[in-house]
Amino acid sequence: MADTFSLQRVLETFRSSLSEKKEVYIKYYIAGWQELVAFMNSLGNVFSFISKDVVSKIQILENFLSGENRSHYVTIQSMVKYELENDLVDLTKRGSHPESGCRTLLRLHRALRWLELFLERLRTSTEDSKTSVMCSEAYNESLAQHHPWLIRKAVGVAFCALPGRDTFFDVMNAGDHTQVVALLGESLPLIAEVYQITEDLYAKNNLLELP
Ligand SMILES: CCCCCCCC/C=C\CCCCCCCC(=O)N[C@@H](COP(=O)(O)O)[C@H](O)/C=C/CCCCCCCCCCCCC
């Protein structure tokens, strides 16, 4: 991973995550999240409880990717098939498989929806738009529905420490504001496609509420 965040690289990793058959490569999906975590770390310690959670989930998936059953963890589709066929997923309450690939990836999948909603707000924002408002609106429409009160409160506090819109645009390292907006316009359909493919797969297999 490079030192400085670049929106272009996030776009490339999510683009690489889609196979010709429209399956999602876990390796690149994780790489996209690693880029985003690097960005979040650059925002300061107030976000460390969030990035630690993402890093631990990335680590769980990386262990599957390099473990003895790695051939089943190439795509999200192959992972779901393998874990379901071999009863490796806690479907209704946490039991012998508390850290299955399916439930771990589901947490990142829900966060991807937050990202999509937030970036769409950023893309269409105006000079006086507040990142904290855009972030919390996107959060309330997505992840918040899956988080208990205490987490929602902590996340609300963290949002207040977000830098302004101009800083976000600069940190993306994608040129001037017009170029950033154009790149966001290119990135969002890709992120949305990866999200939708995963959502449909999880819905088809009744995996959207894994404990
Ligand atoms: C393109 C540049 C601009 C955007 C860059 C954004 C970078 C964001 C990077 C990561 C986003 C956060 C991902 C959060 C994943 C949360 C997964 C989750 O829901 N975990 C909870 C449930 O897990 P289990 O307990 O069931 O294992 C866990 O309880 C949560 C813990 C921490 C709170 C997570 C809050 C997420 C808030 C999302 C907004 C992040 C704001 C970042 C600001 C840029």
- Tell me the C-alpha to C-alpha distance, in Å, between residue 144 and each of 55, 57, 107, 114: 19, 18, 12, 9
User: Among 40, 45, 153, 181, which residue has the most ligand 1 atoms within 8 Å of its CB, making it the best to mutate?
Assistant: 40
Interface confidence: ipTM more than 0.85: yes
Residue 2 is assigned to a structural domain of this protein: no
Which domain covers residue 155, as residue numbers? 7-92+99-201
What's the domain count of the chain? 1
User: Among 12, 55, 107, 146, which residue has the most ligand 1 atoms within 8 Å of its CB, making it the best to mutate?
Assistant: 107
Nearest residue (by CA) to ligand 1, atom 34, is: 50
The answer to whether 50 and 40 are in contact (CB under 8 A) is yes
pLDDT recorded at residue 1:
58
- Tell me the C-alpha to C-alpha distance, in Å, between residue 175 and each of 108, 179, 190: 28, 6, 20
pLDDT recorded at residue 2:
59
Distance (angstroms) between ligand 1 centre and the Cα of 187 equals 19
pTM (two decimals): 0.96
Residue 211 is assigned to a structural domain of this protein: no
Residue 171 is assigned to a structural domain of this protein: yes
Residue 206 is assigned to a structural domain of this protein: no
CATH number of the domain residue 86 falls in: 1.10.3520.10
Residue 141 is assigned to a structural domain of this protein: yes
Which residues sit with their C-beta closer than 6 Å to ligand 1? 7, 10, 36-37, 39-40, 47, 49-50, 53-54, 107, 110-111, 114, 135, 139, 143, 151, 155, 162, 172
Nearest residue (by CA) to ligand 1, atom 5, is: 36
pLDDT along the chain (211 residues), means of 10: 78 95 97 92 86 97 98 98 98 96 98 97 96 97 98 94 92 90 94 98 98 97
pLDDT recorded at residue 43:
81
The answer to whether 108 and 191 are in contact (CB under 8 A) is no
Distance (angstroms) between ligand 1 centre and the Cα of 47 equals 9
